[in-house]
């Protein structure tokens, strides 16, 4: 006869053995990912941080210069202007992006004829390359012969020179990026919508809720994690804006569409000031972190996704 | 064309980033190959027609002797590729080089000075455009030889000038008068712009015509001057009083719908690189070319750019590479073959004196402008100063959002700061 205590003991030691075994296997399975993460994320980020304290120019110099890159950064009014530029972009772009993609998703979240075709159409711009899209948008936005100003003139409005005027250049970029990105966010929202159980709507309808009430009190709160994902990605995308601005306006007019990444590229690759560019990139990364945290707070996501 | 080129460059850049800078196979494989020939690699970023033009020269060189064999490798983003190659080996032996980059790269000690070769082979420096050599020089050392020289001239629509009873302009006053006469508005809609004012980068040319310069010899910004003021006065008048142009008028028109080809712009400054486009799409377009007009005190001013050939420090066969550079850039027949193949003005004067150029009406205005044209100041921070400080302020002025005084003053202060930050660190 084995005493109860002994049984307990051997059971627990077996469990511990099993636990250890599982832990070993677990670590083994995450090892490849962790290694990749280490090699391609942690080490390069660490190196970039180190470079931001040097005058590294790829070819001839790599000396420690302390904080002087960051000191120069504080004086660099153009760099801070690019943050104002992408800040404006984000304030207009992120809410519009959420609103339009949610509306599209709600509209197309039904089993009607032709819905799949429409979903495909709305998604297509996402698949277009930024350069090709920008070429077409330049045509659409041409002050004299573009379609946009053509439509405006039918209403008696003289349209602006969209990409060449300081007031409208960023708006032109917002229009183009919205057109390009609502499709993919619509897909994410569609996935979110499919995950909302039908009984919530059924019981709400029984209690006399209107369609708008359903949207306001069921759909929107249930989509909170999705909204968090979409808005965070949009904010990060806004801070990292580069290719559309590069192709559509080349950062002009009057620096109105220059972005932090644009300057980082210019300093790093055109001017070979990799040390300074690394400092700029680090400040940008910190800004992205801060804004992601703010977005997380605002969404008060109960199930954090990150 | 320039816009399109930028767009293509951006496309290439993005593709390059996405592809993760792969392609180890195209690296340089120099050294003595089979048959005892020295194998050289030439890197350049000219694709399409340009690639074929370069291939023509490479083939001709390979056929001309039996010791050296050159291979052209197209690198979409040649400068980034050169950076990586310069740090971890595998540099090519010759690079098809946008000359203005010399000021940035020569101080980094990655280019081979060619002065000794020039002395040894008895080349005459006066055979090359002096300004082009200057652009390839850093601290009294020459880092390559010029392959092409280009400059801008005034293109005008002959028919429009005739209809308006005007002569091609020769001075600023003429330019303003003719531009005003050729401009056609329909209410708020601009139908014909008398003169293109779409490229504020031309400021450096205008300010020379006004008797000034963008930078001093000592490497300071020099725009807040009488000459700078004169340029802005002219631009301001043409833009706001004569209304010969509208901001953004030429944006986004493709090659086929080019504003000059379709008669939307009556006059503009551009270079020989547009000749083929105008000939291809402008079947009904009759145009003339004039050297840049003279300023109020009769000063002339033009801008020069172009390509050269340089030998990177990492080349294992600099002597053989030099033979190729010399064959292409410093030989009349070869320079002329290149000029005819690529429709470029060669940097080698004896080739330019050939009747092919000197007796062709279309080339004459360019050759004339090249005699006084100046290259960009050879300061490693010049391009970033122009792009981030000078042009943005000029754009604000052209859009009537900043006074001439503020524009010049801000361009000067911001510009000086950028020059200083991007100067050579010793």
CB-closest option in B246, B380, B425 to A143: B246
Which region among A207-216, B28-37, B46-55 has the lowest average model confidence (pLDDT)? B28-37
Q: Does B13 fall in a domain?
A: no
- The answer to whether the Cβ–Cβ distance between B14 and A131 falls below 8 Å is yes
- The most distant pair of C-alpha atoms in chain B lies apart, rounded to whole Å, by 74
Token reading at A206: 């029984």
Q: Do B101 and B219 share a structural domain?
A: no
> Coil, helix or strand for A262?
helix
Q: Do B198 and B142 share a structural domain?
A: no
CB-based contact B285:B261 (threshold 8 Å): yes
Alpha carbon distance A107, A110 (integer Å): 7
Q: Do B162 and B281 share a structural domain?
A: yes
Q: How confident is the model at residue B1 (pLDDT cuts 50, 70, 90)?
A: very low
B2 touches chain A (CB under 8 A): no
Residue A131: list chain B partners with CB under 8 A: 7, 10-11, 14
Tell me: pLDDT of B33 over 60.
no
Q: Do B403 and B273 share a structural domain?
A: yes
Percent of chain B predicted with pLDDT > 70: 91
Percent of chain B predicted with pLDDT > 90: 76
Pairing of strands B267-270, B153-157: antiparallel
Q: How far is A78 from chain B (nearest CA, A)?
A: 8
CB-based contact B302:B368 (threshold 8 Å): no
Cβ burial A118-134 (10 Å sphere, 16+ → b, else e): ebeebeebbeeebbebb
Q: Is B241 exposed, middle or buried (0-12, 13-18, 19+ CB in 10 A)?
A: exposed
> Coil, helix or strand for A128?
coil
Alpha carbon distance B421, B426 (integer Å): 13
Alpha carbon distance B2, B7 (integer Å): 9
B contact residues 208-267, partner A, Cβ 8 Å cutoff: 246-249, 251-254, 264
Q: Does B313 fall in a domain?
A: yes
Tell me: pLDDT of B27 over 70.
no
> Coil, helix or strand for B83?
helix
pLDDT for B206? 97
- Reported as a single tens digit per residue, the pLDDT across A205-256 is 999 999 889 988 899 889 988 998 999 999 999 999 998 888 888 888 999 9
Tell me: pLDDT of B327 over 50.
yes
Alpha carbon distance B99, A105 (integer Å): 53
pLDDT for B283? 85
Q: Do B386 and B371 share a structural domain?
A: no
**B131 vs B19 pLDDT, higher one:** B131
What residue numbers bound the domain in which B388 lies?
151-304+381-421
Q: How confident is the model at residue A144 (pLDDT cuts 50, 70, 90)?
A: confident
Q: Which residue has the tokens 């090699």?
A: A39
Q: Do B155 and B109 share a structural domain?
A: no
Residue B83: list chain A partners with CB under 8 A: 58-59, 269, 272
Q: Hey, how many other C-beta atoms are within 10 angstroms of the C-beta on B223? A: 27
Mean pLDDT rounded to a whole number for chain B: 89
CB-based contact A163:A103 (threshold 8 Å): no
Alpha carbon distance B17, B10 (integer Å): 10
pLDDT for B124? 95
Q: What is the CATH number of the domain that holds B184?
A: 3.40.190.10
pTM for the whole structure = 0.86
- Reported as a single tens digit per residue, the pLDDT across A246-290 is 888 888 899 999 999 999 999 999 999 999 999 999 999 999 999
Q: Do B171 and B245 share a structural domain?
A: yes
Contacts with A72 (C-beta within 8 Å, 6 or more apart), sequence order: A276, A279, B421
Q: Do B270 and B248 share a structural domain?
A: yes
Find the closest chain A residue to B84 by CA distance.
Answer: A58
Q: How confident is the model at residue A62 (pLDDT cuts 50, 70, 90)?
A: confident
Q: Do B191 and B83 share a structural domain?
A: no
Q: Report H helices in A141-223.
A: 147-154, 169-194, 198-206, 211-214, 220-222
Q: Do B391 and B293 share a structural domain?
A: yes
Percent of chain A predicted with pLDDT > 90: 61
Residue B255 has what DSSP assignment? S
pLDDT for A122? 92
Mean pLDDT rounded to a whole number for chain A: 89
- Reported as a single tens digit per residue, the pLDDT across B343-353 is 999 999 999 99
Residue B249 has what DSSP assignment? T
Q: Does B21 fall in a domain?
A: no
Q: Hey, how many other C-beta atoms are within 10 angstroms of the C-beta on B36? A: 8
A contact residues 177-216, partner B, Cβ 8 Å cutoff: none
Nearest one of A80, A40, A95 to A259, comparing CA atoms: A80
B contact residues 148-207, partner A, Cβ 8 Å cutoff: 188-190
Q: Does B268 fall in a domain?
A: yes
Q: Does B12 fall in a domain?
A: no
Q: Do B192 and B234 share a structural domain?
A: yes
- Reported as a single tens digit per residue, the pLDDT across A181-211 is 999 999 999 999 999 999 999 999 999 999 8
Nearest one of A93, A260, A257 to A185, comparing CA atoms: A93
**A6 vs A124 pLDDT, higher one:** A124
Token reading at B401: 């959002």
Token reading at A166: 């300081």
3-state secondary structure string across B14-25: HHHHHCCCCCHH
pLDDT for B248? 86
CATH 2.70.70.10 fits A72-299, yes or no: no
Q: Is A11 exposed, middle or buried (0-12, 13-18, 19+ CB in 10 A)?
A: exposed
Token reading at A14: 């077996």
pLDDT for A302? 53
> Coil, helix or strand for B42?
strand
Token reading at B272: 């020989």
- Reported as a single tens digit per residue, the pLDDT across B224-258 is 999 999 999 999 999 999 999 998 888 777 666 78
A131 touches chain B (CB under 8 A): yes
Q: Does B123 fall in a domain?
A: yes
ipTM over 0.90 threshold? no
Q: Do B396 and B274 share a structural domain?
A: yes
Find the closest chain B residue to A131 by CA distance.
Answer: B11
Token reading at B360: 């062709």
- Reported as a single tens digit per residue, the pLDDT across A85-119 is 999 999 999 999 999 999 999 999 888 888 889 99
Token reading at B276: 């083929």
């Amino acid at each position: 006869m084995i005493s109860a205590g002994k049984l307990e003991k051997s059971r627990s030691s077996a469990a511990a053995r099993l636990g250890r075994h599982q832990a070993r296997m677990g670590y083994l399975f995450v090892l490849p990912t962790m290694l990749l993460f280490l090699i391609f994320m942690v080490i390069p980020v660490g190196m970039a941080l180190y470079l931001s304290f040097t005058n590294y120019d790829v070819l001839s110099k790599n000396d420690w210069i302390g904080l002087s890159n960051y000191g120069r950064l504080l004086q660099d009014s153009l760099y801070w202007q690019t943050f104002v530029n992408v800040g404006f972009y984000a304030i207009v772009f992120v809410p519009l992006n959420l609103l339009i993609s949610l509306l599209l998703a709600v509209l197309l979240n039904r089993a009607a004829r032709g819905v799949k075709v429409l979903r495909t159409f709305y998604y297509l711009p996402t698949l277009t390359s930024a350069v090709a899209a920008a070429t077409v948008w330049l045509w659409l936005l041409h002050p004299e012969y573009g379609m946009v100003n053509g439509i405006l003139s039918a209403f008696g409005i003289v349209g602006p020179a969209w990409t060449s005027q300081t007031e409208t250049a960023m708006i032109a970029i917002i229009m183009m990026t919205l057109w390009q990105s609502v499709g993919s966010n619509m897909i994410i929202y569609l996935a979110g919508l499919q995950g909302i159980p039908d009984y919530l709507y059924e019981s709400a309808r029984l209690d006399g809720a209107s369609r708008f009430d359903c949207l306001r009190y069921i759909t929107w709160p249930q989509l909170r994690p999705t909204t968090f994902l979409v808005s965070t990605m949009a904010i990060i995308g806004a801070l990292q804006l580069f290719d559309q601005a590069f192709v559509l306006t080349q950062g002009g007019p009057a620096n109105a569409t220059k972005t932090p990444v644009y300057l980082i590229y210019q300093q790093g690759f055109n001017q070979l000031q990799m040390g300074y560019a690394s400092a700029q990139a680090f400040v940008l990364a910190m800004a992205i972190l801060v804004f992601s945290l703010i977005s997380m707070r605002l969404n008060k996501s109960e199930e954090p996704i990150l | 064309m320039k816009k399109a080129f930028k767009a293509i460059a951006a496309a290439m850049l993005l593709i390059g980033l996405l592809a993760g800078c792969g392609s180890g196979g195209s690296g340089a494989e120099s050294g003595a190959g089979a048959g005892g020939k020295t194998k050289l690699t030439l890197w350049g970023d000219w694709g399409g027609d340009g690639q074929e033009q370069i291939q023509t020269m490479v083939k001709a060189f390979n056929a001309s002797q039996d010791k050296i064999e050159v291979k052209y490798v197209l690198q979409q983003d040649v400068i980034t590729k050169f950076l990586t190659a310069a740090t971890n080996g595998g540099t090519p032996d010759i690079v098809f080089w946008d000359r203005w980059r010399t000021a940035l790269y020569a101080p980094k000690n990655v280019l081979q000075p060619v002065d000794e070769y020039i002395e040894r082979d008895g080349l005459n420096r006066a055979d090359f455009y002096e300004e082009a050599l200057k652009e390839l020089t850093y601290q009294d050392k020459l880092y390559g030889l010029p392959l092409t020289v280009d400059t801008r001239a005034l293109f005008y629509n002959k028919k429009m000038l005739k209809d308006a009873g005007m002569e091609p302009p020769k001075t600023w006053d003429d330019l303003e008068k003719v531009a005003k006469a050729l401009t056609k508005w329909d209410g708020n809609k601009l139908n014909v712009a008398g003169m293109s004012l779409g490229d504020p980068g031309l400021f450096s040319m205008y300010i020379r015509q006004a008797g000034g310069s963008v930078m001093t010899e000592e490497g300071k910004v020099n725009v807040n001057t009488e000459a700078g003021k004169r340029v802005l006065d002219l631009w301001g008048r043409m833009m706001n009083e004569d209304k010969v142009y509208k901001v953004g008028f030429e944006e986004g028109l493709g090659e086929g719908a080019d504003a000059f080809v379709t008669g939307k712009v009556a006059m503009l400054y551009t270079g020989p690189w547009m000749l083929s486009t105008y000939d291809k799409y402008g079947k009904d377009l009759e145009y003339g070319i004039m050297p840049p007009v003279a300023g109020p005190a009769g000063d002339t001013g033009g801008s020069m750019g172009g390509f050269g050939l340089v030998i990177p420090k990492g080349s294992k066969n600099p002597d053989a590479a030099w033979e190729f550079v010399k064959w292409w850039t410093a030989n009349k027949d070869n320079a002329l073959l290149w000029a005819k193949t690529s429709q470029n003005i060669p940097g080698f004067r004896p080739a330019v004196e050939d009747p092919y150029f000197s007796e062709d009406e279309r080339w004459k205005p360019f050759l004339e402008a090249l005699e006084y044209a100046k290259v960009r100041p050879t300061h490693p921070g010049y391009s970033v100063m122009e792009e981030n400080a000078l042009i943005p302020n000029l754009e604000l002025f052209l859009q009537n959002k900043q006074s001439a005084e503020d524009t010049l003053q801000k361009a000067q202060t911001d510009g000086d700061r950028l020059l200083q930050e991007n100067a050579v660190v010793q």
